[in-house]
Amino acid sequence: MTARVGVVTFPGSLDDGDAARAVRIAGAEPVRLWHGDPDLHGVDAVVLPGGFSYGDYLRCGAIARFAPVMGSIVDAARGGLPVLGICNGFQILCEAHLLPGALTRNQHLHFRNRDQVLRIEAVGTAWTNAFQPGQEVLIPVKNGEGCYVADPATLDRLEAEGRVVARYVGGNPNGSQRDIAAITNEAGNVVGIMPHPEHAVEALTGPSLDGLGFFTSVLKHLVGAPA
């Protein structure tokens, strides 16, 4: 049976269509989820896409965290549902307290858009099991509030527990502490990443095909998950 991966659309979402396309290319069925509808329609995993949910008013992701669909996603994620938050989706996951820390204004105060090398460090998550430890990938980054911050104790805990999923290589585009580009929760089913793997799934439009591994990983995870 084909896995069904939900992609949420918020007011101001930008990359929901790209995320749905990446899901389809990976071999799953994308299911469009609406911010105002708490029904997850029986999906096997969820992607929170990039963009500017609710116009980034108040704080990036702060309003989206209270959308009806997010109540269902938070409960399902705590029960083991794989959830990937990309860029704005990462911000929403932090605001929803599914991931620790916060994403703040880029240290240089400029929007940064470029192809970025990442080193994958945690391959035991639902979204990164297709990679090898230390593997370097090329994925676009585009953000104005992508600087990951947390208190020293949280950063040390993420390091000690192997929950830093990816780091920036060859230059930090936003000033994120310890070059952190992606992190995961303790269970490994929730991952937040600031760069955009959905923009690196086709040779025609992306700098590489490296982003596809995030989406094929969750399919592999679902096959091995208990019924």
**Domain of 215, in residue numbers:** 4-224
> Above 60 in pLDDT, residue 210?
yes
Say what the pTM is. 0.96
Nearest to 9 by CA among 44, 41, 42, 46: 46
Q: What is the dihedral of CA 28, 202, 204, 140, to 10 degrees?
A: 120
Task: Using the CB atoms, write b or e for 49-72: b if 16+ within 10 Å.
Answer: bbbbbbebeeebbbbbbebebbeb
> Above 80 in pLDDT, residue 31?
yes
pLDDT tens string 118-172: 999 999 999 999 999 999 999 999 998 999 999 999 999 999 999 999 999 999 9
Q: Where residue 32 falls among pLDDT bands split at 50, 70, 90?
A: very high
String of DSSP letters for 32-65: EEETT----TT-SEEEE--B-GGGG-SSTTTTGG
> Above 90 in pLDDT, residue 109?
no
At 225 the pLDDT is 65
How confident is the model over 52-68, as a mean pLDDT?
A: 92
At 227 the pLDDT is 47
pLDDT tens string 74-95: 999 999 999 999 999 999 999 9
How confident is the model over 223-227, as a mean pLDDT?
A: 68
At 57 the pLDDT is 86
State the total domains in the chain.
1
The mean pLDDT of the chain is 96
Pick the range with the lowest mean pLDDT from 6-10, 107-111, 129-133, 167-171. 107-111
3-state secondary structure labels for all residues of 4-33: EEEEEECCCECCHHHHHHHHHHHCCEEEEE
Q: Catalogue the active-site residues.
A: 87, 196, 198
> Above 80 in pLDDT, residue 10?
yes
CATH number, domain at 56?
3.40.50.880
